[in-house]
Structure 1
């Protein structure tokens, strides 16, 4: 006996919601009962890479087939509420007007979880005035662009924002405008931001509790000029990037756990490898630094659990003076690397009077 077919239709549709939409649609051939059940799923997941194995068809034919499938599913669902809409269009060229139509369709239907990865695409402004979005993930996507105007940004329910390799116009001001329209945001993830288009980066949110600020280590040719964090209620921080030239405003007063992976750029590394006499002339009373991370490390000095990469120790050595006091630190984990010294480690340990656990990872 087919036990699943005997379940109530709403329950079957709920189960199908956990499958990729293409797989859920394939169940329509099982019987008359199953023919339209997949159309009532509340989670929609479209990925054009699922069509890459269509042997014997051109890219244009595959792209058309994918777009027609998305159109059919959305049309079949009518005005039913959709919970999650995931769209990955990174394998084939699509009609971007149709893509915009799909996004507007699910926005009208009250989508709460929107996940978009589209190549060479400017997001419609309607995304940034949604009254139902709780989670928004954008990217990765080459030339996926956010064009923002302050009066057009208001996401009153958004709690999670994830940006990966996304271009935010207005050289940092657009990012500030985006965050200003997210009054209840609790988690922010920034992945692989290209600093060449930014004058500064400011993360200023009272509601924020978790922040991931990550950039792949392969990006060693540039660094942010100015980074500020005004996040007094943040409890978790993951920060891996080239060290900024300066940190004019840092407030992590509630921070519990931090994973720090700061590193020098190639140019900064070249500077610190200059001989001591050349780099710190005898008539200089103050130490010259390639970048100044002092304010950042002072800003995290209330942390209780701290993870430092080997290259962060290098930053602490060459870009921080003096080493801050970590009175609340009870657990410290430090990575080691054969190319990176631990010159600043004795001074750091001296300033951790209440440290209970020290882990050295090799």
Structure 2
């Protein structure tokens, strides 16, 4: 007897679902016996069609049609991903057919990406997809004539698109269960109002504005996580109501493209951002923010009091940045966890800070300055992503001493290096011994090196 084939069909389907989800091996089981002939149609698989510039677009279109023909009898598809390196309006009907397939078959995730100046116009029937949970659209034209019905959608991502406030309003009202919204490289809207209680995560990357006097205004009283990334001279975002915000991720940068930087504008932008997220529990800030903080500290500016309990800072770990970091810590009286992510040597950052700060003078200021505050709640400190010999980064030692001296309830100081333990050189052993020799205010503090 074939004991495997005698198992109940739900168990057989579960077994087949353990195979690679591209579906090829699942389909091959149909030749085993008549019992297995149609079971594969009930297994959730993933279909991925990626058109590269080296492959002819016509051949690619034909191959997708052939593949979807084979899967027409399948009950459901887990994930469906299509990326077109080039697109022309003559292929719009073909893409429409793929979308129709997706609206009837895809259950979990659908992504459509098109790389071309001629954006694909999203068809009207696709605004009514009742079962889909995750949707990503890149370089599409959205113009729903009626209402949008994406009732099961929990995650939505738009990229490289011209949006309007009326379209966004229709989209958001048609996604009552949406939890996460991502907007990448977009333009066209100046006000983003999110009233849904369920939508808790918003990510914005590279917002472009043709009118540089206008800002993108965010009104989202129920958002809990906000991520902002991209060029700050393009983003220009003002948060008016983010009262429920718990986590803010600010990975911003500034690109002047050969022009002289407007530091007054940059620092003003950072100050407004920090004031708007002073109430959050978790904050992540990259090297651009630390760069501006160091310049602001030199000018006498102090960070507003904050409620941060978790703080992650991207830094190059040179002494020019330390006063800015420590000034930042002074305003973080509730801080429990500090993570400093090493970004390596940043020539642009060091060059700018060197114009405003003499390194020797800054070193003396750091050692004798008034950064004498107790970090009353700081229990965990992590320096992560070290790479190469630690002796190259001895400039970080004054900051390590400062933290060990002022963190009076510290429990763990962890240094994580991006090397394998079996290739850890004697250099790491020496640095570990040096770290361990520094005085610690907390009797319970342990220094841990991890490779």
> Would you call these one fold, judging by a TM-score over 0.5?
yes
Secondary structure in structure 1 of the residue aligned to 2:335: coil
* Corresponding position of 2:174: 181
Distance 1:301 1:162 in 2: 27
Residues 289 and 319 in structure 1, CA contact (< 8 A), matched pair in contact too:
no
* Corresponding position of 2:363: none
Higher strand share: 2
Distance 1:303 1:253 in 2: 9
Alignment deviations for residues 148-197 of structure 1 (CA, whole Å, 9 cap, x no partner): 2374323333221123x342444x5533442243233211223x414xx4
Whether 1:209 and 2:200 are equivalent positions in the alignment is: yes
Residues 262 and 315 in structure 1, CA contact (< 8 A), matched pair in contact too:
no
Aligned residues: 328
Deviation at 1:37, TM superposition (A): 1.9
Whether 1:128 and 2:127 are equivalent positions in the alignment is: yes
Q: How does 1:188-337 map to 2 (within 5 A)?
A: 188-190=181-183, 192-194=184-186, 197-200=187-190, 202=192, 204-207=194-197, 208-214=199-205, 226-243=215-232, 246-266=236-256, 270-272=260-262, 292-315=269-292, 325-337=304-316
Residues 304 and 328 in structure 1, CA contact (< 8 A), matched pair in contact too:
yes
Deviation at 1:17, TM superposition (A): 4.5
- TM-score normalised by length of structure 2: 0.60
Secondary structure in structure 1 of the residue aligned to 2:253: coil
Residues 53 and 86 in structure 2, CA contact (< 8 A), matched pair in contact too:
no
Deviation at 1:86, TM superposition (A): 0.8
Alignment deviations for residues 60-85 of structure 1 (CA, whole Å, 9 cap, x no partner): 556423311202311x23xx4x3634
Distance 1:51 1:247 in 2: 35
Secondary structure in structure 2 of the residue aligned to 1:152: coil
Counterpart pick for 1:39 among 35, 38, 41: 41
- TM-score normalised by length of structure 1: 0.72
Higher helix share: 2
Higher relative contact order at CA 8 Å, sep ≥6: structure 1 or structure 2? 1
Deviation at 1:206, TM superposition (A): 3.4
Secondary structure in structure 2 of the residue aligned to 1:241: strand
Structure 2: 5+ residue runs without aligned partners? 343-451
Distance 1:230 1:4, change over 3 A: farther
Residues 293 and 319 in structure 1, CA contact (< 8 A), matched pair in contact too:
no
Secondary structure in structure 1 of the residue aligned to 2:125: helix
* Corresponding position of 2:99: 103
* Corresponding position of 1:67: 65
Q: How does 1:12-51 map to 2 (within 5 A)?
A: 12-17=12-17, 19-41=21-43, 43-49=44-50
Structure 1: 5+ residue runs without aligned partners? 274-286
Deviation at 1:334, TM superposition (A): 1.5
* Corresponding position of 1:279: none
Alignment deviations for residues 30-72 of structure 1 (CA, whole Å, 9 cap, x no partner): 333333222222x34222349999xxx9875564233112023
Secondary structure in structure 2 of the residue aligned to 1:270: coil
* Corresponding position of 1:149: 144
* Corresponding position of 1:137: 136
Deviation at 1:21, TM superposition (A): 2.7
Over the aligned positions, Cα root-mean-square deviation in angstroms equals 4.1
Secondary structure in structure 1 of the residue aligned to 2:217: strand
